[in-house]
């Protein structure tokens, strides 16, 4: 899935930078091997005229000098370089493209971010209306921060401000990040407790339906009591350019 997405995104980039002769296109896609073939077929000057690097000045990655080992893979970065927000992706499902938001010392999809800032902080309070991650956890201004964790039930939570408490057996952190350099979106996922990623589990206890975020494990203890009600999703990360931290604390 990851590799496939990278290829889909890489293909137009290569195509847009490839000049008109078809042999150059394939040389760019296949790397050194084709370049060597060109060298065999043409004299040096001619080959230089066709070298892809002369026509790809605006390309962000130098694929001509570092051809991918395969057109269907990328070397992802695994440490985010910027703060980011997250949206859920599972096309055709009711949660598709909903933002992942903090509230109730856990995460849900859609419905808004729950945050707090003391009156004494006044105009220095961050907006607090978006759930922003920095590194692999939520980013807050409150002294001591707030630690994200995964409970043995699968529920993804975070500590209350000024407290280190997390339920027994919880694993701090738990999110993995990866992003292909050419991709507009990164991804967060989790493998703690053998999870195969993230899932959204319906919770109708407050009258209105909402989806609570869990690690996707078969024995998760979910609000409806039936893990089959949950919807697996890909956590797409979007670079965030606003003020960081984006909240004093999430509640």
Ligand X SMILES: *[C@@H]1O[C@H](CO)[C@@H](O)[C@H](O)[C@H]1NC(C)=O
Residues at the interface with ligand X (CB under 6 A): 127, 129-130
Of the two residues 130 and 137, which places its CB atom closer to ligand X in the complex? 130
The residue sitting closest to ligand X, measured at its beta carbon, is 129
CA distance 251 to 103: 5
The answer to whether 235 and 90 have CB atoms below 8 angstroms apart is: no
Beta carbon of residue 76, minimum distance to ligand X (angstroms, whole number): 27
Of the two residues 218 and 242, which places its CB atom closer to ligand X in the complex? 242
To 10 degrees, what angle do helices 2-17 and 22-30 make? 140
Of the two residues 6 and 236, which places its CB atom closer to ligand X in the complex? 236
The answer to whether 85 and 222 have CB atoms below 8 angstroms apart is: no
CB atoms near residue 158 (< 10 Å)? 21
- The pair phi, psi for residue 169, each rounded to 5°, is 85, 0
Beta carbon of residue 128, minimum distance to ligand X (angstroms, whole number): 8
Beta carbon of residue 129, minimum distance to ligand X (angstroms, whole number): 4
Kindly write down the DSSP assignment for every residue of 174-231, as one continuous string: --EEEB-TT-S-EEEE--GGG--SEEEEEE-TTSS-EEEEEE--TT---TTS-GGG-E
The answer to whether 116 and 128 have CB atoms below 8 angstroms apart is: yes
Beta carbon of residue 99, minimum distance to ligand X (angstroms, whole number): 8
Of the two residues 130 and 153, which places its CB atom closer to ligand X in the complex? 130
Beta carbon of residue 82, minimum distance to ligand X (angstroms, whole number): 17
Beta carbon of residue 105, minimum distance to ligand X (angstroms, whole number): 21
How far does CA 79 lie from the centroid of its chain?
Answer: 10
Of the two residues 16 and 129, which places its CB atom closer to ligand X in the complex? 129
Of the two residues 204 and 243, which places its CB atom closer to ligand X in the complex? 243
């Amino acid at each position: 899935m990851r590799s496939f997405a990278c290829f889909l995104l890489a293909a137009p980039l290569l195509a847009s930078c490839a000049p008109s002769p078809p042999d150059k296109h394939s040389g760019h896609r296949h790397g050194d091997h084709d370049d060597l073939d060109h060298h065999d077929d043409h004299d040096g000057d001619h080959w230089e005229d066709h070298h892809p690097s002369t026509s790809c000045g605006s390309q962000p990655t130098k694929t001509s000098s570092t051809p991918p080992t395969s057109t269907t893979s990328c070397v992802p970065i695994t440490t985010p370089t910027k703060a980011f927000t997250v949206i859920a992706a599972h096309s055709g499902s009711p949660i598709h493209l909903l933002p992942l938001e903090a509230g109730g010392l856990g995460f849900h999809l859609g419905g808004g971010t729950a945050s707090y800032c003391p009156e004494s902080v006044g105009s220095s309070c961050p907006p607090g209306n978006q759930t922003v991650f920095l590194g692999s956890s939520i980013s807050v201004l409150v002294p001591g921060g707030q630690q994200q964790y995964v409970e043995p039930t699968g529920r993804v939570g975070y500590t209350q401000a000024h407290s280190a408490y997390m339920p027994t057996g919880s694993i701090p952190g738990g999110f993995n990040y990866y992003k292909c350099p050419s991709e507009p979106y990164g991804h967060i996922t989790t493998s703690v407790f053998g999870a195969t990623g993230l899932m959204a589990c319906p919770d109708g206890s407050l009258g209105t339906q909402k989806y609570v975020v869990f690690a996707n494990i078969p024995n998760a203890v979910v609000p409806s009591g039936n893990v089959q009600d949950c919807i697996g999703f890909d956590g797409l990360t979007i670079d965030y350019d606003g003020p960081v931290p984006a909240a004093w604390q999430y509640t």
